[in-house]
């Protein structure tokens, strides 16, 4: 899809909690081998997807310089809201000071909700229904202790302030393409604490089919080819998947590596591809094209093409600081932080 | 204003009274004070009950009527007086005003707290009702933590060593040995205090007043009533004053001073026409050791940041420069919260009537008590004079 | 306790708790947290609400090792008096730091965090805490 009016990112932000647990520490307890990432982020006892979303959103709003009253939408994509019923979006909006004249909604599509929020915010701005909109992807991923998900289930958030394209924009949101099917590779039933997944079924028919179809769909629709992109960012449940997806689509490894953060923070679910995008925007120069492809179980992918503008590089997010700022915890402290001690 | 005298005093031992209820403790202390006064309880015209936490810990309010009834005094006006840890002092203040104003000739006051009915976490929560629920309790600060922040600030500001302040607890324990009403009649060493568990850094367990049950009572009367019911050793409440400070510690301009105490003390000393150096016995509100040291500094017994010297030099013992907490103070006599202010007056009365045994301060003429509520958001002080 | 599970009570404070809304006295210029109608320092009934700066430094602090109700299982945690850039003081928690690494004068910045849950099935009360700036 191509937006009727040109829209762009005027501010962005990311959040990663300070705590980390090394996968070798999880292996020590559960005896696993060949961990998919090096270490992952762990939220503090007082953090959840809502608080992380706020931190990322506040950074995006501050960077944009946009007036609070101009924020017409706060769209929060997450699969780990603190409440089953009661929106995170209202708390975040109130804390940001953008209430009450705002479209505020929580959105769920496993790890894809964040990019879908970005597309919808862009569409709302493009249609001139609102002046600016905040799109947030945030998750505090839960995994059953000992489950293979535990090695990667991380925590983090990313947020983007979308406005009509201007000379000050960080990047233009060029076009988007969504691809969904009913593919149950991963789910969590109402009232269940931990999700279930289907092991190797989450690969070929789920992740790769949707990611590749969405990326190809986008390129075909607007007539772009892999060589037109300077960077490509995929949803990163582990380090292997995005590299393999890049290879299958014909992107060189150099294009995908700059956006990979999951080796250091794990899989941040709805924030995963968006934190990758923040990482890329923090190092991009004006006039570069970026492809972002999310993947959400259930299943679907959003592919979004962005072109950086003059605003990029003028302001950076705090992501590189957040990636460096860490307090390592052992498995005992990790279980306390995750609230597993009851 | 009429002059107000202490006609009688009584108390229970402070401790873990598993077999006694709040009302039984209050009745015991009250009747013992009336007995000490040598009058018929039907002579008492009004009753003031000092208590902080009965609503939280016993689910029991309306203590005035309850205690009056259980003491066989139903019919008289009777009220609970609450001002956090200064509830006892505030009740004495109200009783004092009632007599001083001429409204009554003879009144009774009893301070009571029954803390061992509840779990420690519930006691913590109940004590915290003295603080701002919306902006202090909300952030998880405990009562100990608030005092600990004052303590840390003081230690840094003046470069004082914690063990010098902590010595206050050692002194109090030494004094309590000879007090039959004290909760802890045993000495502690400074090493024990400094190696006791941290409760809220830097405050350690043995720097905190203990949890306990107890009740103390007084009978107050005016001069005419006294003439009709004379007693040998006579003590006058020469001044009763109270003051408040800005409620929350973080909003105060200075964390290392106790403004409400300074204000109330100045007022009481002025009314009684007494200079601080004439004080023979001092009752300090040492819920935490730091508060004992701050009390000494506020009264001018030591410059700011140097109150600890009096403690370390042994000047708080009978015979020292300023005998303080000679019956054990909050630390060792005990701190049944709403009763503490009355216990302080009871302990001064004990000294001024020469009943303090081996802890007796020779020729004690003037006693002074400071009772803090919250982190001294309220202070009530009493200045007692022996009448010869 | 009735009072610890009151929803309206938390709700009406939300702006002050979420956005550090303090009050500036138009008469004596004191800045206090939270905002209220009367200045606690000079008594003037002339306070205006202002959002307080998010940066400050630690004036004093303590480590809560015996938590009050509502904070069970979170101990040990840090509480501190923070002096903000405009001189206003707030009482808050310090997070993302080991107690032994905290120093008086340490620079801190506001973060948005959970404070307590009214009950396992009750509302979650959020508010501002502080973390080290560096």
Q: Are residues B113 and B44 in the same domain?
A: yes
User: How far is residue A241's CA from residue B164's CA, in Å, rounded to a whole number?
Assistant: 63
pLDDT of residue A32: 87
Chain B residues within an 8 Å CB radius of C129: 139
Q: What is the pLDDT of residue B58?
A: 97
DSSP letters spanning A257-313: GGG--HHHH-B-GGGHHHHHHHHHHTT--TT-EEEEE--BTEEEEEEEEEEE-TTBT
Residue of chain A minimizing CA distance to C112 = A51
Active-site residue, A111 included: yes
Domain of residue B114: give its range.
4-119+211-234
Instruction: Check pLDDT > 90 for residue A1.
Output: no
pLDDT at A15: 98
* Inside any domain, residue B370: yes
Give the mean pLDDT of chain A: 97
In a domain, B371, yes or no: yes
**Res C4 pLDDT > 90:** no
Q: Give per-residue pLDDT as tens, A71-110.
A: 999 999 999 999 999 999 999 999 999 999 999 999 999 9
Among residues B170, B199, B234, the one where a domain terminates is: B234
The answer to whether B150 contacts C60, with C-beta atoms less than 8 Å apart, is yes
Residue B308 lies in a domain: yes
Is position B135 within any domain? no
Coil, strand or helix at A98: coil
pLDDT at A342 > cutoff 80: no
- ipTM score of complex: 0.97
Q: What is the pLDDT of residues B74-98, one digit of tens each?
A: 999 999 999 999 999 999 999 999 9
Structural domains present in chain A: 7-169+316-337 (3.40.47.10), 171-308 (3.40.47.10)
Indicate whether B202 and B217 sit together in one domain: no
**Chain C residues with CB-CB distance to B255 below 8 A:** 59-60, 81
What does the domain layout of chain C look like in residue ranges?
Answer: 3-132
Looking at residue B377, what is its pLDDT?
Answer: 97
- Find the helix packing angle between A49-64 and A88-96, rounded to 10°: 40
Q: Which of A47, A55, A79, A172 is catalytic?
A: A79
Q: How far is CA B5 from CA B100, B107, B219, in A?
A: 10, 11, 8
A262 flagged as catalytic = no
- Residue A27 CB partners (closer than 8 Å, separation 6+): A33, A35, A151
Domain of B36: which CATH number? Answer: 3.40.47.10
Asked, for residue B378, whether it belongs to a domain, the answer is: yes
pLDDT at position C1 is 62
pLDDT tens digits for A215-254?
999 999 999 999 999 999 999 999 999 999 999 999 999 9
Query: What is the DSSP secondary-structure string of A143-157?
Result: --TTSGGGGTB-EEE
Contact B198 C65 (CB under 8 A): yes
Q: Do A97 and C95 touch (CB under 8 A)?
A: no
Nearest-5° angle of CA C38, CA C39, CA C42? 125
pLDDT tens for A13-31 read: 999 999 999 999 999 999 9
Distance CA B346, CA B338 (A): 14
Domain contains B78 = yes
B180 and B247 in a single domain? The answer is: yes
- Of B336, B78, B50, B332, give the one whose Cα is nearest residue B217: B50
Identify whether B25 is part of a domain: yes
**pLDDT above 80 (res A185):** yes
The residues that bridge with B91 in the sheet, in sequence order, are: none
Cβ–Cβ below 8 Å for B200 and C80: no
Q: In terms of domains, do B199 and B276 share one?
A: yes
B323 and B255: one domain?
A: yes
pLDDT in tens, A42-72: 999 999 999 999 999 999 999 999 999 999 9
Residues B42 and B103 reside in one and the same domain? yes
In angstroms, how far is the first alpha carbon of chain B from the final one? 21
B56 and B190 inside one domain = no
Same domain, B70 and B90: yes
Percent of chain C with pLDDT over 90: 93
Q: How many structural domains is chain B composed of?
A: 2
Residue of C nearest to B135 (CA): C91
Q: Are residues B323 and B198 in the same domain?
A: yes
Q: Is B130 within a domain?
A: no
Q: How far apart are CA B377 and CA B247, in angstroms?
A: 5
For position B121, what pLDDT does the model report?
A: 85
Interface probe with C: pick from B120, B131, B145, B205, most Cβ of C within 10 Å:
B145
Q: Are B179 and B358 in contact (CB under 8 A)?
A: no
Average pLDDT along chain B, 388 residues, taken 10 residues at a time: 98 98 98 98 98 97 98 98 98 98 98 96 92 95 97 98 98 98 98 98 98 98 96 95 96 93 98 97 98 98 98 98 98 98 98 97 98 97 96
Shared domain check, B228 and B249: no
CA distance C7 to chain A (A): 14
Please tell me whether residues B157 and B224 are part of one structural domain. Answer: no
Domain shared by B283 and B368, yes or no? yes
Residue A235 among the catalytic residues: yes
Query: Would you tell me which residues 62-91 of chain C have a C-beta closer than 8 angstroms to some C-beta of chain A?
Result: 73-74
Check whether the bond before A187 is cis (ω within 30° of 0): no
Contact B136 C91 (CB under 8 A): yes
């Amino acid at each position: 899809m191509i937006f009727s009016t040109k829209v762009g990112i005027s501010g962005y932000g990311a959040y990663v909690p300070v705590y980390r647990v090394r996968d070798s520490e999880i292996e020590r307890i559960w005896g696993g081998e060949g961990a998919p990432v090096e270490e992952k982020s762990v939220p503090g006892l007082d953090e959840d997807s809502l608080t992380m979303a706020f931190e990322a959103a506040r950074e995006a709003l501050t960077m944009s310089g946009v007036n609070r009253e101009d924020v017409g939408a706060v769209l929060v994509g997450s699969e780990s809201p603190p409440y089953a019923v009661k929106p995170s979006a209202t708390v975040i909006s109130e804390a940001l000071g953008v209430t009450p004249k705002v479209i505020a909604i929580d959105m769920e599509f496993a790890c894809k909700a964040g990019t879908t929020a970005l597309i919808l915010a862009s569409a709302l701005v493009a249609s001139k229904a609102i002046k600016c909109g905040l799109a947030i992807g945030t998750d505090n991923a839960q995994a059953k202790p000992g489950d293979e998900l535990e090695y990667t289930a991380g925590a983090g958030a990313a947020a983007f302030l979308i406005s009509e394209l201007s000379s000050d924009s960080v990047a233009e949101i060029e076009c988007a393409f969504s691809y969904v099917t009913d593919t149950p590779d991963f789910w969590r039933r109402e009232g269940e604490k931990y999700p279930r997944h289907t092991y190797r079924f989450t690969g070929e028919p789920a992740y790769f089919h949707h990611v590749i179809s969405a990326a190809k769909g986008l390129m075909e629709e607007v007539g772009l080819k892999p060589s037109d992109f300077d960077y490509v960012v995929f949803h990163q449940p582990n380090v292997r998947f995005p590299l393999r997806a890049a290879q299958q689509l014909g992107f060189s490894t150099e294009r995908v590596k700059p956006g990979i953060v999951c080796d250091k923070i794990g899989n941040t679910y709805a924030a995963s591809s968006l934190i990758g995008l923040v990482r890329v925007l923090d190092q991009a120069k004006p006039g570069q094209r970026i492809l972002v492809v999310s993947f959400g179980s259930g299943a679907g992918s959003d592919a979004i093409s962005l072109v950086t503008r003059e605003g990029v590089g003028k302001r950076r997010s705090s992501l590189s600081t957040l990636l460096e700022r860490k307090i390592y915890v052992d498995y005992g402290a990790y279980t306390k932080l995750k609230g597993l001690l009851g | 204003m009429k002059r107000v005298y202490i006609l009688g005093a009584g108390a229970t031992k402070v401790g873990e009274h598993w077999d006694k209820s709040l009302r039984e403790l209050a009745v015991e202390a009250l009747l013992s004070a009336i007995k000490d006064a040598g009058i018929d309880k039907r002579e008492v015209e009004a009753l003031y009950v000092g208590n902080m936490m009965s609503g939280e810990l016993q689910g029991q309010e309306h203590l005035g009527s309850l205690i009056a009834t259980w003491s066989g005094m139903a019919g008289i006006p009777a009220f609970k007086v609450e001002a956090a840890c200064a509830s006892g002092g505030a009740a004495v203040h109200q009783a004092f005003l009632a007599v001083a104003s001429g409204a009554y000739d003879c009144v009774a006051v009893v301070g009571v707290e029954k803390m061992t009915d509840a779990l420690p976490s519930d006691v913590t929560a109940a004590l915290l009702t003295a603080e701002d629920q919306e902006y202090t309790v909300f952030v998880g600060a405990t009562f100990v933590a608030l005092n600990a922040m004052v303590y840390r600030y003081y230690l840094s500001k003046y470069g004082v060593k914690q063990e010098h302040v902590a010595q206050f607890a050692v002194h109090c324990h030494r004094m309590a040995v000879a007090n039959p009403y004290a909760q802890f009649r045993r000495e502690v060493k400074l090493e024990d205090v400094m190696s006791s568990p941290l409760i809220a850094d830097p405050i350690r367990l043995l720097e905190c007043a203990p949890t306990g049950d107890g009740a103390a009572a007084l009978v107050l009367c005016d001069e005419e009533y006294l003439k009709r019911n004379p007693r040998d050793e006579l003590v006058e409440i020469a001044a009763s004053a109270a003051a408040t400070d800005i409620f929350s510690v973080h909003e105060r301009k200075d964390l290392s001073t106790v403004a409400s105490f300074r204000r109330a003390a100045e007022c009481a000393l002025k009314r009684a026409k007494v200079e601080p150096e004439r004080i023979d016995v001092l009752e300090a509100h040492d819920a935490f050791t730091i508060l004992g040291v701050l009390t000494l500094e506020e009264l001018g017994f030591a410059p700011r940041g140097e109150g600890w010297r009096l403690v370390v030099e042994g000047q708080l013992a009978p015979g020292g420069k300023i005998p303080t907490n000679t019956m054990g103070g909050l630390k060792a006599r005990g701190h049944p919260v709403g009763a503490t202010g009355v216990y302080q007056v009871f302990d001064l009365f004990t000294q001024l009537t020469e009943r303090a045994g081996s802890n007796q301060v020779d020729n004690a003429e003037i006693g002074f008590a400071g009772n803090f509520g919250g982190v001294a958001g309220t202070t009530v002080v009493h200045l007692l004079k022996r009448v010869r | 306790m009735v009072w610890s599970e009151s929803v309206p009570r938390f709700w009406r404070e939300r702006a002050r708790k979420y956005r550090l809304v303090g009050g500036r006295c138009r008469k004596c210029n004191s800045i206090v947290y939270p905002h209220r109608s009367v200045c606690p320092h000079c008594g003037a009934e002339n306070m205006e609400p202002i959002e307080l700066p998010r940066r400050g430094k630690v004036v004093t602090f303590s480590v809560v090792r015996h938590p009050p109700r509502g904070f069970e299982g979170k101990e040990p945690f840090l509480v501190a008096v923070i002096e903000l850039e405009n001189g206003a003081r707030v009482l808050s928690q310090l997070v993302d730091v080991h107690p032994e690494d905290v120093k008086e004068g340490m620079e801190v910045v506001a973060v948005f965090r959970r404070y307590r849950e009214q009950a396992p099935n009750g509302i979650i009360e959020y508010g501002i805490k502080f973390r080290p700036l560096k």
